[in-house]
Amino acid sequence: MSAPPPKPVLLTGASGNLGRMLARELGAAGWTLRLTDIAPFPDPLPPGAVFVRADLNDGVALLRQAEGCGALLHFGGVSVERPFEEVLGPNLRGLYHVYEAARRERARVVFASSNHAIGFHERPREGEPRLDLDCAFRPDGYYGLSKAYGELMGRLYWDKHGVENVNLRIGSCFPKPTDARMLATWLSYPDLVRLVAACVAAPRTGHAVIWACSDNPRSFWGRDHRERIGWRPRDSAEAYRAEVEGRLGDPVAERYQGGAYASIEYSRAAPSPRDPFALE
């Protein structure tokens, strides 16, 4: 990992699973962190870190916490599929507050996007090309829709205000894979830490998109901007293949890249077409 950044870094969603892990690892590497979440921080604070409990809907609180920061790691908000009204405030309005804070501070945003922004793309068949970064958004629920919105917010703030942002389309970030789908989507904790550090350290990013998964031969995803930030994953889900290969989902989950999220409240009589604009 490169040297700690010269300015403090704000981490939203610090009390969540990924936020806690990032706070621990980045704090141990000497980063000066400002941590925030709507929930209390459950762990001992890393050296040099401060925690402020706040709601992403509170734009003034977020602006205050971002003062003097060089980067905003936005991992906050609703992190699973929920009804639209529950997603609306933290994931849409809260993201606007993050970008307004970044615009004022001329800070870079590292946004925890998700594979669920493209989850209704079908899984590639053998020999078919993988999805590239400029594929169409095909969210598989309201959570995925909010992540597509987040990436478009980054596009807007780069084009209109020059706010640099890196959008991490996170696959499945857990200590280890838990089902067969994760042979394609798994992202190890160490690979995520190195990815976030590279996003902050890169001299320039512009508006960038990264398929945030480990070095998985079965990955659904192809070209992205990882060369721009100098990141390469080191881990691979293949080490767990024998453990998870037979753990499959229902037919809808197995058809689409978003897995089980595509199955939630799915009511079509026939699968949606591979071509996003086809009738059937």
Query: Domain containing 57 — which CATH number?
Result: 3.40.50.720
pTM: 0.96
Q: What tokens appear for 254 in the block?
A: 């197995």
Do the domain assignments include residue 201? yes
> Is there a domain that residue 213 lies in?
yes
**Could you tell me if residue 151 is inside a domain?**
yes
Q: If we measure between CA atoms, which residue out of 172, 200, 166, 179 comes closest to residue 79?
A: 172
**What pLDDT was estimated at residue 276?**
79
Residue 98 belongs to a domain: yes
Q: What tokens does 39 get?
A: 């929930």
Q: What is the pLDDT of residue 37?
A: 98
What domain range includes position 112?
9-263
Q: Quote the mean pLDDT of the chain.
A: 96
pLDDT score at 165? 98
Report the domain count for the chain. Answer: 1
Q: Is residue 67 in a domain?
A: yes
Residues in the chain with pLDDT < 70? Answer: none
pLDDT at residue 280 in the model? 72
- Please report whether residue 274 resides in a domain: no
User: What is the pLDDT at residue 153?
Assistant: 98
Q: Which of 144, 139, 147, 143 is nearest to 82 (CA)?
A: 143
Total number of residues shown for the chain: 280
Tell me if 270 is assigned to some domain: no
Domain assignment present for 278: no
Is 261 labeled as catalytic in the residue annotation? no
* Catalytic pick among 96, 99, 142, 143: 143
How many CB atoms within 10 Å of residue 126?
4
